[in-house]
């Protein structure tokens, strides 16, 4: 039985999707803990209600990133994680922290990487005039938003879309691909070679939500 530790900063809707999928699909793993850098993160209550250990390492209590990262690393390692999942964890991590979890830390980014790394991805997509937008689950590396890609979801950009409507519609697809990626990891199905991730046995590493109906909501 593998241990999953999830880091959140707010509601943690992707965390909720992973917790539900882990239980419903009977993964060979358990969500051992949900940790946050914010004591008011509402997702902590969801985790507690589902019998999952929770904890807070408040970044405001540390004078620098390295001190915070060291404390968060200690909190994570207390649960002996096989994989660390960033689910709306709004902190830029130090290289030492990332290297400590090399090959066993996943993140979801709201764009089709390598396009639009960093912040304000939906505004970037609209300003660029792209016709497809999406989300990417990737391994975390020291270079921000550049780790090996595990799975991607795409949806069409519609006339009248705003950053808010894109984010809202995309969330449904995120809730499909992130649990899928974590499940592949805990089932030992992910192989990384020369920076390229393959799933064994093979399975589609993409999800398409082309119509507004399939994506979930109208803009």
- Known catalytic residues are 109
Distance between CA atoms of residues 102 and 122, nearest Å: 28
- Is 180 within any annotated ligand binding site? no
- Is 1 within any annotated ligand binding site? no
The H-or-E segment that residue 4 falls in is strand 2-8
**Phi and psi at residue 172, in whole multiples of 5°?**
-60, -40
- Is 12 within any annotated ligand binding site? yes
- Is 13 within any annotated ligand binding site? yes
Contact 187, 28 (CB under 8 A): yes
Helix locations, the chain, DSSP H: 13-24, 43-49, 65-77, 95-100, 121-128, 163-186, 212-215
- φ/ψ bin of 72: left (φ > 0), alpha (ψ from -120 to 50), beta (otherwise): alpha
The residue written with tokens 């990487």 in the block is: 113
The residue written with tokens 């002996």 in the block is: 80
- Is 208 within any annotated ligand binding site? no
- Is 65 within any annotated ligand binding site? yes
- Is 37 within any annotated ligand binding site? no
Contact 105, 139 (CB under 8 A): yes
Binding site residue list: 12-14, 65, 90-93, 107
């Amino acid at each position: 039985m593998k241990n999953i530790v999830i880091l959140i900063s707010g509601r943690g809707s992707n965390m909720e999707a992973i917790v539900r999928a882990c239980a419903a699909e009977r993964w060979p793993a358990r969500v051992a803990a949900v940790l946050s850098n914010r004591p008011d993160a509402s997702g902590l209550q969801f985790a507690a209600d589902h019998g999952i250990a929770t904890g807070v390492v408040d970044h405001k209590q540390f004078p620098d990133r390295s001190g915070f990262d060291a404390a968060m690393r200690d909190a994570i390692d207390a649960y002996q994680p096989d994989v660390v999942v960033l689910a709306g964890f709004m902190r830029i991590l130090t290289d030492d922290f990332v290297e400590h979890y090399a090959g066993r830390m996943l993140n979801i980014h709201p764009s089709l990487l390598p396009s639009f790394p960093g912040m304000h991805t939906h505004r970037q997509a609209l300003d660029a005039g792209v016709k497809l937008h999406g989300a990417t689950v990737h391994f975390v590396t020291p270079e921000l938003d550049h780790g090996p890609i595990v799975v991607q979801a795409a949806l069409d950009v519609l006339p009248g879309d705003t950053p808010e409507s894109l984010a809202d519609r995309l969330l449904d697809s995120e809730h499909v691909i992130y649990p899928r990626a974590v499940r592949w990891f805990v089932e030992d199905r992910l192989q990384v070679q020369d920076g390229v991730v393959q799933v064994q046995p093979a399975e589609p590493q993409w999800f398409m939500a082309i119509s507004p109906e399939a994506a979930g909501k109208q803009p």
